[in-house]
Amino acid sequence: MSKAFISGCKGLVITAEEKAFFAGERPWGFILFGRNIGEPQQISDLVASLRDSIGNPEAPVLIDQEGGRVQRIRPPIVQQYPNGAAVGAVYRQDAERGLRAAWLMGRLHAFDLMRFGITVDCLPVLDVPVEGSNEVIGNRAYGFDPHSVTAIGKAMAEGLKAGGMLPVMKHMPGHGRAFVDSHHNLPVVEDPIDVLRKSDFLPFTAMKDELMAMSAHMVFNAIDPTQPATTSPKVVHEIIRGEIGFDGLLMSDDVSMNALAGNIEARARGIFAAGLDLVLHCHGIMDEMLAVAKVAPVLAGDTLRRTKAVEAGFRKPDASDEQSLREEFASLFATA
């Protein structure tokens, strides 16, 4: 039986040590980063070897393939995609064209990624930034209002699903008000909860029926001034599960990010104690992977139910013609 974590690996191939670790600890899924990307056949071979290491040919393999600066597989392997803000700009010129651009981008990501066996894209970015907030979200966001972010996010997710992939919404319950980079420091949001309800929470509430989401490493003083959302039972149960109404699979953002306090084992314990389903560990550092695996439970209860819903949620790709969609996508941005 799989355990409640998602793991990265260090390089272009899995080492004997990694293979033994994966076989013994059985993560539910895997995630790829730029350091894992060499050339097309290598990517396919790595994906296959990760799955083979746990004896599960269907194990979810995730990637952050947004476009812009967060795009792990780049030219010449796949085209460079515009960032979220550029999609938002098309939408603000013409909403119908913007939604079509978002759907097309999701569908084209699926064409690109499914070739390698990658089945989950950590997209859409549903964060609603505010003026002056840190660039950790910045131009990854689709806009500064929750309604355009929701509309574009939905279209992007539908494009991915039409291509046989599944999306992961990020970063719940909203990362747009971060004034520091959560990779390095802990953002603290001072705004009252009524403000958050009218903005940050709205895209997630509108898309609460999606199967997967990723948490935000941020403190919301109005909800829980003592813990970031990722390790806050109050945020998870009262806001994410309660008010937003999300009953899908909730994974942490990367447990290695320094917005979280303590060593990796303590962080992972805090994540599970808060009520998240899975710990995400990205960096392929074996000591940290061992620490996560040590505290990760075997899938059971609601978490098992949610992982099974994800596994059953992949659908056969539609019959779209890739070349015609690429030409249409290029034309939408050429005239933007």
Residues assigned a catalytic role: 183, 253
Rounded Cα distance between 193 and 234, Å, is 13
| Amino acid at residue number 335 | T
53/217 Cα distance (integer angstroms)? 31
Query: Largest Cα–Cα distance in the chain?
Result: 53
For residue 192, how far is the Cα from the chain centroid? 26
Distance of CA 203 to the CA centre of its chain: 15
> Do 129 and 141 meet the contact criterion of CB atoms below 8 Å apart?
yes
What one-character DSSP code corresponds to residue 251? E
Question: Which residue stretches of 54-145 are H helix?
Answer: 84-93, 95-114
Alpha-carbon distance 290 to 310, whole Å?
25
DSSP count for the chain of H helices, then E strands: 12, 13
Q: Tokens for 14, please give them.
A: 């899995």
User: Which segments of the chain are extended strands (E)?
Assistant: 3-7, 27-32, 61-63, 65-67, 70-71, 120-121, 166-167, 169-172, 188-189, 212-215, 219-220, 249-251, 279-281
Closest Cα to residue 276, out of 245, 230, 244? 230
The token pair at 253 is 């953002």
The tokens for 72 are 């792990």
